[in-house]
Structure 1
Amino acid sequence: MVRRRLAVRFSLQLVGAGALLVVLAVVIVIWILARLEEIEIRRSFAPTGISRLIAESRTDASGLIADPVLLERLREDGGWLQSLDDHGNVIQSFNAPDDLPDRYLPGQLMDYWIGSEPYPYRLGLWIQEKDGVTYTLLYGARSPTEDLLGRLIDDGKLEGGSLSFSEATLAMLGQRDGWVQVLDREGRELAAWGRPDGAPTTYLLQDLALQSVNNDGVGALMDTRYDKRTGYTWVYQYPMSEARRHAMPIPGMMPEAQVMIAGLAAFLLSALLLFIVLSIWYANRFGTPLIQILGAIRRLGGGNYAEPSPARPKRRRFALRKKDARKRRNRIFGEVFESLESLTRALRAGKDAAERTQRTREEWIAGVTHDMKTPLASIQGYAHLMAADKYSWTEDEIRKFASIILEKSEYMDKLINDLSLTYRLRSGDMPVVFEELDARGLLEHAVARAIGQPGYDGGRVHCSVPSSPVRAELHEPWFERIVDNLVANAFLHNPPDTLLRIAMTQDARDGSWRIDFADNGRGMDEQTVERLFERYYRGLNTEIGSEGSGLGMAVAKELVQAMGGRIEVRSEPGRGTVVSLIWDRSGRDLIRTADAT
């Protein structure tokens, strides 16, 4: 069943691709023929342009209604048309000069046509039937430089290898920006006027013949006249028009060759693109499911149980549609994919549970071991001193030892509380009720409480708050703990004369507010700022109070985030530090999402 379905599908797709290539080839051939016809019309209006003019014209009682575009081409070619009846009378004229007769006698027209009688124009006779009517068109053309060449021969003076003309003739030459050459009987230049650098000075018979008829590969138009009196050939060349020049994308190459190359390149490129599209489609349709199955099995074997991230709630419907579409595309492998997904979820759940348990145990052991070792060593050392029989301690010394032991014990107790708080915040196991409070009053109270501790100089702290209340959902003990930690951090890690400025500001437009703790202390380098919120990064120093446990900034960050805010730090060595607590819309949205969950 699967084999037959795949065979039918592949056959239909290959037949469709072949049909598309055939259609594309037909379109390209039609385009090539149209372009070649345009080239012929542009090069010489007759006979292609005349045939096309009759074919594309409309007819009425008075005769042909020609296409204006073709008539413009006729004018650019310097030609004219006359439509004749069966008796040689002129019915219609297109771009005809005033010196043309209104009637041609049959024998007279034949003599004009074959050249036995002189006629000022090169003639062509075209007979074609349209809509049951036979049209006889007389085409005439005269080189736009015909009169100019005659004037050049009559007016030009050839003396000592130089060529000169009268002022009137020079004015006519200036209108076309061309140049003149006089050739001897061997085609060598005797004299020239205005010839540009690089123009040939010797012409073979083939050169003159080809360039006079076809100028596309040269970029200049040429007209010649033989002077019977002297045996010299006069050559007049002038630049090709911009429209005709732009019709040659590749200079120096025949337009026909350019059209053929462009058509062949278009067909090959289209075939290549079709092949690439089909290859990608086949790879995506049949190769991708197999690669996904093999990759999933390989990941499961290597212990990687990752699964795509769940879609956002507002895109759930789109995600379901995408999943259904994938099942329809891969319905052959649908059961395999479903089994792999179920197995992946079960294995990942077990692995995540084991990793969480192991990680929690290791973190607790490492944290407790690291943070308890130094103060516990101090307690043990003083206890051994007090218990030693060979020493006799005074009452003041024993009281001093006991004070140190008590200090270290309080430090250890505070450290245990900090560790417990950080881990409970990270695990989300903190059943706290937030209240709508005035953050302005809480800040003033918390700052006064923090600077009132022994060893802190309240004169080095300046606190400013807005004049209006700042209402926010907060937990007062956590808020005070944050302020305590930040004030302690500013005092303990800076010189004694450091000043701390605490400023609360509120944006009335969106209700966001922030608190900046700015000191003028020694500052921090970039690496310290990046690792500031890592636990124990600054190391432990048992000679300072509990604020030096290395957990102060980590606890502050966890508490700020738990209350829907965020914390930012800016600092440079020697220029102080600014710690900003920010509550804006993003933090409130995060709180609502967590509550809904």
Structure 2
Amino acid sequence: MRLRIMAHYAGSFFIACLVIVVINFFYMRSYVYQEANLYHFTPEETMDLVTHNISLKEEHTFDVSPTLAAHLNNEAIGLQLINKQFEEVFRYNDPVGAMHVYSPNTLISLYENNTVTTFVETVLLNDTPYTVLLFYSPEQVKRTLYTSDVKKVSAAYNIYWLLGMNLFVLLMISYIYTYSISRPIHRITHRIVELSKGDYRIHEAGNGIYSVVEKAMNQLGLQLKASKKAHEEAESHREEWISNLSHDIKTPLTSMMGYGELLGDACEELTEETRAHYKQVIVEKGAYIETLLDDLNLTTRLKHSNTLLRCERVNLIKEIKSNLIDVLNSPQFVNQEHTVAFTHTDDFVLVELDRQLFKRALLNLVYNSFLHNEAPVSVNVHVDSRDAQWVAIDIDDNGVGVSDQERDQIFTRYYRGTHTQAKSEGSGLGMAIAKDIVNAHKGRIRAEKSPRGGLKITIDLRRIQSNETLS
């Protein structure tokens, strides 16, 4: 993988550099060295003006036209004319380095003068030949003379050696560049492959521009690891729940089948009272199975439906009082020694909820305290409405409580606790249903240890900020 990444980036970088070199080569060759004539300056324009704009009078004096004078002044060019005897006959703009009399050697030495750049050319004025000397400042036109050994220059500028050297440099730069780029990319791709195979180990992140990505990959690994663990636990709980539910259904079914066979037999020994008892057992077992299936259906609907609630505005205090009265009058606990106390900070707390589902959640939580603790059990229900946005409902008991590990799992749909003191029939969905109902109301629910030693469940519901009264 890393070699493919390096090859990809190295090839791209090498091609880009090669294109830049080729573009620069043709640009320098076609424009700089040929079209622009940067290194081949000739004063043709000035010489042409001198030839046509300077005249020789009869008095052997020279007259410069305004056109030539303006050109020489604007370009700061010095002009000097010398005759066949190398003597000065005319000058203009007082050229720097100009002499009145020259010799062949002094004329040659002008080409080596660094303070002025001189051009020499012969012109005819009235059929008389004169030598024209043009003097340029080195800041305008600069001449550089050098000599070279042709063989050495040819060897130094060998096209194959230059091409090979440049290719080697390009390859080295490409390798260094792509190696530094491919290292973090290789780590990231390798990390992705590891995550896809279920390897969630944490790797040390680099310090480059990809450090944020590598840290995010580590965080993703932690999340995937936690998600995998949660999934495995949920699957284990689901299998355990299915096993328990199957057992809970199988037991009453066996009783129903047995009593049904007894009722079906034409046994005259069965009294009418006995037959009525058998029928009652079958009805009770059937109702129990129906409750199990209803619980399963309800928790599934709460999990996947947003239109299940039929909410209305109610006084929460009045609603809870009515529900707790139903608990106290329940035939299941009327002969027990359990007690229920209800306290609240305000007499009127307006909330919006589904009355039937809220009652189901509240009763599930209260019954849970009774079912999983030995009698007598004291349950306190307290409503704290001092917060302007939320109202808290606390349900705590003085039972045996649950361990910290189980406390984190009691609302899990496929979890059944181990703290039950006695065998009791139930689907194991009561706490999960209560949580799903609270969540459907956009509320919050949590469990903690009660100050009284048992379990404390807290439900938070949003209050309605309204001055409206209930009818």
* TM-score after normalising by structure 2: 0.47
Larger radius of gyration: 2
- Specify which structure has the bigger relative contact order, considering alpha-carbon pairs within 8 angstroms and separated by 6 or more residues: 2
